[in-house]
Amino acid sequence: MKKNISGLVMAIALLGCTHDKSPSHLNRQDSESFVKINKDKNTIKERFSAPPEYRWVDEKPDNFGYFIENFKLKPYGSQILKYDGNPISTQDLHEAVLDIDTGNKDLQQCADAVIRLRAEYLYKMKMTDEIKFHFTSGDLISWSDYKNGTRAFVNGNSVNFRKTSGFDDSYQNFRNYLDLIFNYAGTISLNKETKPIEKNADLRTGDILITPGSPGHVVFIAGVSKNKEGQKLFLLGEGFTPAQSIHLLSNPFNKNISPWYNLDINDKETKTARYIFKPTNFRSF
């Protein structure tokens, strides 16, 4: 289980719902989606076509959004598996599973899934100086510090850092660093590390929708499509508790456009397949 440094986590209530404002021709109460799913394709952008009259919004090849929308997927129909290899009980609220490990401990939960993807992107782009995350306590440790031997020692509410190991920049040591972050970070720290988004027009792939707290939750935008009128629809991905496969959500509230969602930063609350966000709080790295 994850360890929260005592006295540093607050509880958040989870209530509410939202309405769907997608265009009328995509808002009939049919039981099947208008979205073409290319089951033989193995990336998010290739597998999920945009709804009728929409087109994918292209991302620049070097940014986080491009990394997300081109992330490799497991074969269509793959189950969500817990960290121990067993399937979760609910298998009807996702449309895809990302091809990335969960680890073998109950660590890579919701905020950690976002942290994992962000860190993997920076690692792949060799932007390693930017790989740094806070604990819920506010203490910061970077991958640069960790690979040079710095380790965290937690005693109650106190965190101390000491150099106790030699240099190791292997990928396995990078995963060890991330497990440390997963153990002591969460939605509270992730919320503080990101910036608020003020306009719907600014929402893009890689942004997050987050409720900071304990419990809290976060989903990430995994794709964006837009029509000629400028209206956007969004794919959403998440990790969850207990630690489990990072997955792409279906939209049980509007099956005509599933797995796409209509999102509005001005909504008082936003309902996703497995969580209700109240208030709506979109943020970006």
Kindly tell me if the per-residue pLDDT of 29 is higher than 90.
no
- Residue 249 burial (CB < 10 Å; 0-12/13-18/19+)? buried
Q: What pLDDT score was predicted for residue 214?
A: 85
Q: Which long-range contacts (CB under 8 A, 24 or more apart) does 199-205 make?
A: 199/265, 200/232, 200/263, 200/264, 200/265, 200/266, 201/230, 202/284, 203/232, 203/234, 203/263, 203/265, 203/282, 204/57, 204/59, 204/65, 204/284, 205/57, 205/59, 205/64, 205/65, 205/66, 205/68, 205/69
In this predicted structure, what is the pLDDT of residue 31? 62
The DSSP bridge partners found for residue 152 are 161
Confidence bin at 20 (pLDDT 50/70/90) = very low
Higher pLDDT, 143 or 22: 143
CB contact at 8 A, 133 and 193: yes
Burial of 120 (0-12, 13-18, 19+ CB in 10 A): middle
Domain boundaries, the chain: 24-105+187-284
Amino acid at 9: V
State how far the Cα of 83 lies from the Cα of 63, in Å rounded to an integer.
29
- pLDDT tens digit sequence for 63-96: 999 999 999 999 999 999 999 999 999 999 999 9
Please tell me the predicted confidence (pLDDT) of residue 157.
82
Rounded to the nearest integer, the mean pLDDT of the chain is 91
Largest CA distance in the chain: 62
Share above pLDDT 90 across residues of the chain, in percent, rounded to a whole number: 87
Instruction: Enumerate residues 6+ apart whose C-beta is below 8 A from 277.
Output: 209, 210, 211, 217, 219, 269, 270, 271
Query: Could you check whether the bond before residue 259 is cis, i.e. omega within 30 degrees of 0?
Result: yes
What's the mean pLDDT in 24-36? 67
* Residue 34: CB atoms within 10 Å: 18
- The answer to whether 84 and 104 are in contact (CB under 8 A) is yes
**Is residue 267 pLDDT above 80, yes or no?**
yes
Q: Does the pLDDT at position 45 exceed 90?
A: yes
Judged against a pLDDT cut of 80, whether residue 142 lies above it is answered with yes
Q: What is the pLDDT of residues 153-212, one digit of tens each?
A: 998 889 999 999 999 999 999 999 999 999 999 999 999 999 999 999 999 999 999 999
